[in-house]
Homo-oligomer: A and B are copies of this chain.
Amino acid sequence: MIDIVIAGVGQTPVGEHWGISLRDLAMEAVSKAQMDANGLIPEAIYVGNMLGPVLSHQAHTATLIADYVGLQGIEAVTIEASGASGGAALRMGYLAIASGLVSSCLVVGVEKMTDQTGPGVEAAIATALDSDYEAAQGLTPTAQAAMLMNRYLHTYQAPRSAFGRFPIQAHANAASNPNAMYRNRVKESSYEQAGMVSSPLNIFDIAPAADGAAALVLARRDLLPMQVGNKLVRITGSSIVTDALAIHDRHDPLEFKAVRLSIERACRQSGMLPHDVDLFELHDAYSIYAVQTLEAAGFAERGRGWELALNGEISLTGKIPISTFGGMKARGNPGGAAGIYQAVEAVLQLRGEAKLNQVPEARRAMIQNLGGAGATAVVHIFEAVPEAF
Binding site for B on A (CB under 8 A): 1, 21, 23, 44, 50-54, 56-64, 66-67, 72-82, 88, 91-92, 95-96, 98-102, 126-132, 135, 238-246, 249, 257-258, 261, 371-372, 375-376
A interface majority secondary structure: mixed
Q: Closest CB of chain B to A26's CB: distance in Å? A: 13
Q: Closest B-chain residue to A249, C-beta based?
A: B67
B242 touches A66 (CB 8 A): yes
A60, A129, A132, A245: residue with the most chain B Cβ atoms closer than 10 Å? A60
Please indicate the chain B residues that have their CB under 8 angstroms from the CB of A130 in the complex: 64
Bound-state CA distance A106–B179 (Å) is: 39
Q: Closest CB of chain B to A116's CB: distance in Å? A: 13
Give this chain's copy count: 2
Bound-state CA distance A53–B81 (Å) is: 12
Please indicate the chain B residues that have their CB under 8 angstroms from the CB of A81 in the complex: 60, 62-63, 76-78
Which of B95, B96, B131, B376 is close to A102, meaning CB atoms less than 8 Å apart? B95
Bound-state CA distance A259–B172 (Å) is: 52
B63 touches A372 (CB 8 A): yes
Given contacts A77-B92, A99-B99, is CB(A245)–CB(B135) below 8 Å? no
Please indicate the chain B residues that have their CB under 8 angstroms from the CB of A54 in the complex: 53-54, 59
A72 touches B242 (CB 8 A): yes
A63 touches B131 (CB 8 A): no
Please indicate the chain B residues that have their CB under 8 angstroms from the CB of A75 in the complex: 91, 239-242
Q: Closest CB of chain B to A79's CB: distance in Å? A: 6
B67 touches A245 (CB 8 A): yes
22 CB-based A-B contacts, threshold 8 Å:
A21-B132, A52-B127, A57-B126, A60-B80, A63-B371, A64-B245, A66-B242, A67-B243, A67-B244, A67-B245, A72-B242, A73-B258, A73-B261, A75-B241, A76-B376, A77-B79, A77-B80, A79-B79, A92-B95, A95-B95, A96-B99, A101-B238
Q: Closest CB of chain B to A86's CB: distance in Å? A: 12
A131 touches B57 (CB 8 A): yes
Given contacts A21-B132, A76-B242, A79-B79, is CB(A59)–CB(B50) below 8 Å? yes
Bound-state CA distance A92–B237 (Å) is: 19
